[in-house]
Amino acid sequence: MVDLDFSRAFTVNSRMDPVLSTVRLTVREAVHTLSSSEDGGCIFSTLGSLKRYLGETENPALPEEQEEFARIHFSTFLRCLVGKLSPDWLELLPDGQLEELWASFFLEGPADQAFLVLMEAIEGAASKVVGLPDHLGNRLQRENLAGFFPQNYFPLLGEELLQALHVVVESLRASVDFEVSGWCVLMALLPLLPVAGGLDCSVSFLSQVLGKACVHGRQKELLGVLVPRLTALTQGSCLWQRVCWRLVERVPDRAMEAVLTGLVEAASGPEVLSWLLGNLVMKSKKAQFVMTQKLLFLQYRYTTPVLRSLLGYLAMDSQRRPLLIQALKELLETWGSSSAIRRAPLAQQHYISKAILVCLAHLGEAELQDCRDELLASLMAGVQSHLDSSLPAVRRLGMIVAEVASAQIHPEGPPLRFQYEEDELTRELLALATPQPAADSPSEAGPPVAPVTAETTNEEMVSSGGPQAQPEGSDSELDSDDEFVPYDMSGDTELRSSKAPVYVRDCVEALTTSENWERWEATLRALEGLIFRSPAATQEVSVELAKVLLHLEEKTGVAGFEALRQRALVAVTVTDPVRVAEYLTTQFYALNYSLRQRMDILDVLTLAAQELSRPGRRQKPPQRGPPGPGPQPGSPATPAWQAVVEERIRSKTRRVSKGSAGQGPAADPNKFNSVAGYFFFPLIQLFDRPLVTFDLLGDDQLVLGRLVHTLGALMYLSVNTMVAVPMGKALLEFVWALRFHGDIYVRQGLLSAVSSVLLSVPAERLLADLPDELLEAQSWLADVAQKDPDEDCRTLAIKALLLLEKLRDKLLPPPPP
């Protein structure tokens, strides 16, 4: 093949003068010698005679001979050298003499031809420029040069792309022929196509290099060099913008997503994207799909500034704004889907909510008017689905988006107002409703909506526009008594005209029939202490008192009414646990109760169980929330699961210290031991029987989630009790029946319930009485840890698997050494 290639070159140049024919004959003889000889000395002499054509010897060839060798024969000769390359061939001479001479032709000759020949020798058909670091790394291993490390090579490749684009722009600006020169292979492979009226440069090769590098995951290294420089160049030059548009348009479809993703992340704002992309989304279906579907619905890892850049780019041109309106319709439809709310991760729901608010900030009332009915229908359905969720974060998302979107879509209608907790995420979402000043929008965007929270008062709303000036001569100026020291009244108590009852039975009457509201309030405030001071009298009317408290409604605006009622219910349950627990668990599945009352029952049972299981409890117990595995929505006094576990660890830790040991509190028996079944089994027996107004397996999933967490907390508080094993078996069967539930909060409760069983039932009894249930739970936990869309569910599953592993290590003997 080498002789044929050389013969072809020889034929083409057969008309050259005799001087040039001498060079041709010399090269032909050298190629023949290299192809046939195995004599190291002869090969070394032949290669040395050709070095004179590179001008690097003491007796260089004539300039005309050097020019012919470099222009016509050099590539053919290098291909011959590459074809002979092998370890045996290089070892024909000792001390690496032949290898050094062989390499000198590539290092000292024309760089562009040497580079192309070397690239031809590397296997692989697609964009060998991008794959060079991988090929060299595979071949050279630890001997690879630092310049070919990916973190060094791709920034250099970005610089070369910029140089090539500079040449293109200058040639177009000067309207002269573009002559490729120099060692840069990118320039060498950039052809020019003459057209009528001027020049048109093809940047297809550069587009292929850009796309291939991004597909290989090198967007950060390559675009980190390209985007800042192109931003500065395109800012004031229409010609540079057109070249950049053509560069991205020529990217192959298979690489378009990787390129656009990298550009959106690297661009500093929507203006930069507009300069670099132009109306690419209107010309390329693939680009339109990536920008309006893939980056909005199928991925949610991008930051808020990236989301602003993406949607701001769609809003900056009148031709692209219809895509923004269509994106808003689809975003609202997805946001309002009940299936998506149940199954999508919370992070993705946050992302879609942010995208909706950014879209609304860029669209004006005139644009929203044409599709108002469709948007309002999606919005109202979405609000209802969000408010039905058992997760507080999801409900809050629905409230915020509903407030902002309703004000933008239907400003003349009645405004929606909700009360929600204001935190960093809330402030970020509300800030997104304000359009960015740098975005050039053809139409005026709607006004931002101020948040209305539970802490916002009328005075704060009035004063939001600025400080209110007081009229001259006001009392604040005239009545200045700063020289007087105020009297300390912190120890004073409010005088009440009506005294609280002194008997528990009188409290029942006062709460049901009294028309004296001051006495009614005094009774409610004194009831908890009275119950603990009179346990015998309380047990006589415990069920009646629990019924009154369960149905008690706030009538006089008592501060802390819900907490007072709950503490009284907990107190009466602790005082007479069997009868009150039977009553409350029966009422949980009874008719004519609101969801709020049913959740109050669950809270009371959990708090009472916690108090009964606490050793050394006082007469008046300190109130704390149920030791559930996670925060329960709507429960104001719920500690974290970790705090309860840490307290249990501290209680089981033996501490050794010098000196006299202090006398600890007297130990009391665990009073929950004998009554745990009355709290647990009635709750778990009827969960699958729907009522007319109550269906746990249907629409009332919020209550189901609270029920699951309550059962897990009761299981955890039953540690070392006689009924722990049957409770654990029943709870695992309950978990197995609901393991595929679509609600995130329910699944979190189920996973926490498994951990409660593993922590509460003795390890020996688990393996002896529940082996099948543990095997089923292990396979389910492993599947959840890998595939569940919610991060908290995956974390809880991993923790439960770790508990199972510790259980196995504890009971099984260690393997023999």
Of 613, 633, 661, the residue at which a domain comes to its end is 613
Q: Does 558 fall in a domain?
A: yes
pLDDT surpasses 70 at 445: no
Give the lowest-confidence range in 110-114, 603-607, 642-646. 642-646
pLDDT surpasses 60 at 200: no
Full residue range of the structural domain in which residue 573 is found: 504-613
pLDDT at 817: 56
Mean pLDDT of the region 287-303:
92
Residues 396 and 510 in one domain: no
Tokens standing for residue 548: 């009154």
* Burial (Cβ within 10 Å: 0-12, 13-18, ≥19) of residue 100: exposed
Query: Per-residue confidence at 575, pLDDT binned at 50, 70, 90?
Result: very high
Residue 193 CB partners (closer than 8 Å, separation 6+): 199, 200, 201, 202
CA 541 – CA 528 distance, rounded (Å): 14
pLDDT surpasses 90 at 286: yes
Query: Which amino acid is residue 217, in one-letter code?
Result: G
Residues 324 and 428 in one domain: yes
CA 350 – CA 347 distance, rounded (Å): 5
Q: What is the mean pLDDT of the chain?
A: 78
Residues 523 and 420 in one domain: no
Mean pLDDT of the region 187-196:
35
Mean pLDDT of the region 632-636:
42
Of 109, 131, 161, the residue at which a domain comes to its end is 109
- DSSP SS3 for 201: strand
Mean pLDDT of the region 687-699:
81
Angle between helix 744-760 and helix 724-737 axes, rounded to 10 deg: 150
Residues 392 and 514 in one domain: no
Mean pLDDT of the region 652-670:
52
Among 121, 45, 111, 109, which residue's Cα sits nearest to residue 83?
Answer: 121
Residues 429 and 347 in one domain: yes
pLDDT at 655: 55
Among 725, 717, 718, 689, which residue's Cα sits nearest to residue 704?
Answer: 689
Residue 504 CB partners (closer than 8 Å, separation 6+): 530, 531, 534, 537, 538, 540, 541, 545
Of 403, 433, 463, the residue at which a domain comes to its end is 433
Higher pLDDT, 540 or 469: 540
Residues 606 and 680 in one domain: no
pLDDT at 93: 67
Q: Does 365 fall in a domain?
A: yes
**CATH number of the domain within which 572 lies:** 1.25.40.720
As a whole-number percent, the residues of the chain with pLDDT over 70 amount to: 76
Residues 417 and 537 in one domain: no
Q: Does 299 fall in a domain?
A: no
Q: Does 546 fall in a domain?
A: yes
Number of domains in the chain: 4
Tokens standing for residue 553: 């409604």
* pTM score, whole prediction: 0.64
Mean pLDDT of the region 695-708:
87
